[in-house]
Structure 1
């Protein structure tokens, strides 16, 4: 199966499969050649052009996620991270841009988790400014360890009682928002120390409480990271319940229990005859989806 990934037209997929699944060192001759190809590839150049002019923290943060997913690690990432930190609030969060400002929207949790995930994906999770954002994120948690759409679910409006989360994004056994909790865990999962924290594991526990198996949504996050689907939404940015993404988060936070084993067993029943997982909407995404799931399975095996 790995031979299919190593023979893919994308240098990003070849490089990541070689380094992360085959343990080829980054100074290997082929790995270095693929890195050079990555830097000049059309998807990466397009993302870099957009990143150079993007001023919206959430959009810039996700562009960083996409570039990191494609294996790019050039100097433009550090420049973009500094630009994001320049927009950070004193409390560690990010505000809503003026052209998107609605009553209380500055307090929407998603305005912080997407930029922070991008910063962490770019390799700056332990920067003191990022740590301040992580501290803000922990302070926004509800008593049950989930995250609301806004701190304490009231969007910060004084005198307004806390409202329950909307049904379509409410956690099955928690008071918080599934979209916000997914985003928060995605940030924690990329931190070298916080990924193993009780906060990260509790967040994954809330996400695992949903027992549905929506096959059509498997690979949704991968499809956005490689640019086949648009990354959009505010509170609903992570509302799609993607089991491949959930397995990624569980593997990075080292959560292993019967629910994770059941999820793996179910996913294995969907593997094709050549060892690949087929993506239902984008057949060309199947190798990326397979790589993503294989990486998660490897992390679980090594934990």
Structure 2
């Protein structure tokens, strides 16, 4: 299987396969050659060109850093880009609501008037994703322990709900007597929890890239919430990998991580130290093995050219499970997809 990955046209995939799956060292001539080719590859050059004009868009720049890190790039352009993202950071450690043109999406027109009975102080004070996306990019670029990043992590921990999950928008303590916070929408509500699955996924993705916080209780509880949904959606397997390599657009605000991708979930769980002996992980890996092709590859249903990247991603996650040191004790939870309204025609 690794022979097929090492023969891929992408120097990024060849280099990451050699280093992460074959334990190759810098003394290897091929490894050095592939590492040198990464910076000149068209995929990396395209991302660097976009990063150069994203200084005023921290969310866009944050995900571009995630993509560059996934391709194995660690050049000198990353540090100035991280500083540009930090330039928009607020004193409490978070980032402000989306700037005009951020995430490459059109800006919605504001509502002309607020709903009756809703005071200005009752409006959402933040969107969790506005901090999660830049912070994940900063951590992916290797700056997770920067004091400014640590301040963002502390903000993220302060905004957790009582059950350890994260809300999508309104501040967790916004309710008060007679003014409860609005429940999350059905399509992104956690199976067992009050928070938003998209926001919780993004928060765990940030914690997973921190060298110390990835084994914290906050990361573990977040992973437990995500693993509570035990559906097997083959059609969305590898969605995040497709976005990281540029085959799918990275879009959405609250819904940025709404797609339930089991490959991404396994990646986060393995980085946060879960053991392969966990019942949910054991069932998931058993199911994944039933999808492996005759040559050891996992085929991507929408992008056949992504199959080697998906295989690498899953193999790396499976090998990280060997270092896991904790097991969750959650019982299986029932899950019912949200109901669609009846079609009028």
TM-score range, shorter chain: over 0.9
Contact 1:65–1:121 (8 Å) recurs in 2: yes
User: Please, which of 279, 286, 290 is the counterpart of residue 307 of structure 2?
Assistant: 286
Contact 1:154–1:160 (8 Å) recurs in 2: no
> Alpha carbon RMSD of aligned pairs, Å?
1.9
Matches within 5 A, 1:27-46: 27-46=27-46
Contact 1:179–1:235 (8 Å) recurs in 2: yes
Alignment correspondent of 1:5: 5
Q: Is 277-286 or 159-168 further displaced after alignment?
A: 159-168
Contact 2:67–2:244 (8 Å) recurs in 1: yes
Alignment correspondent of 2:117: none
Alignment correspondent of 2:145: 126
The number of residues matched between the two structures is: 303
Alignment correspondent of 1:73: 74
CA deviation map 1:90-123 (0-9, x unaligned):
0000002442586856500000000000000000
Alignment correspondent of 1:110: 129
TM-score by length of 1: 0.96
TM-score by length of 2: 0.84
Contact 2:175–2:181 (8 Å) recurs in 1: no
CA distance in 2, matches of 1:98, 1:203: 28
Q: Describe the SS at the equivalent of 2:39.
A: helix
Q: Which portions of structure 1, spanning 4 or more consecutive aligned residues, are displaced by more than 6 angstroms? A: 154-157
Distance 1:139 1:31, change over 3 A: same
Contact 2:125–2:170 (8 Å) recurs in 1: no
Alignment correspondent of 2:230: 211
In terms of Rg, which structure is larger?
2
Alignment correspondent of 2:321: 300
Alignment correspondent of 2:57: 56
Contact 2:174–2:180 (8 Å) recurs in 1: no
CA distance in 2, matches of 1:18, 1:83: 33
Q: Describe the SS at the equivalent of 1:75.
A: coil
Contact 1:141–1:152 (8 Å) recurs in 2: no
Contact 2:58–2:85 (8 Å) recurs in 1: yes
Q: Unmatched 5+ residue regions in structure 2?
A: 101-106, 112-122, 325-345
Alignment correspondent of 1:88: 89
| 2:249 pairs with 1:230 | yes
Distance 1:155 1:114, change over 3 A: farther
| 2:214 pairs with 1:195 | yes
Q: Describe the SS at the equivalent of 2:166.
A: coil
Larger relative helix fraction: 1
| 2:162 pairs with 1:143 | yes
Alignment correspondent of 1:221: 240
Q: Unmatched 5+ residue regions in structure 1?
A: none
CA distance in 2, matches of 1:36, 1:231: 27
CA distance in 2, matches of 1:133, 1:77: 19
Alignment correspondent of 1:175: 194
Contact 2:159–2:166 (8 Å) recurs in 1: yes
Q: Describe the SS at the equivalent of 1:94.
A: coil
Contact 1:116–1:133 (8 Å) recurs in 2: yes
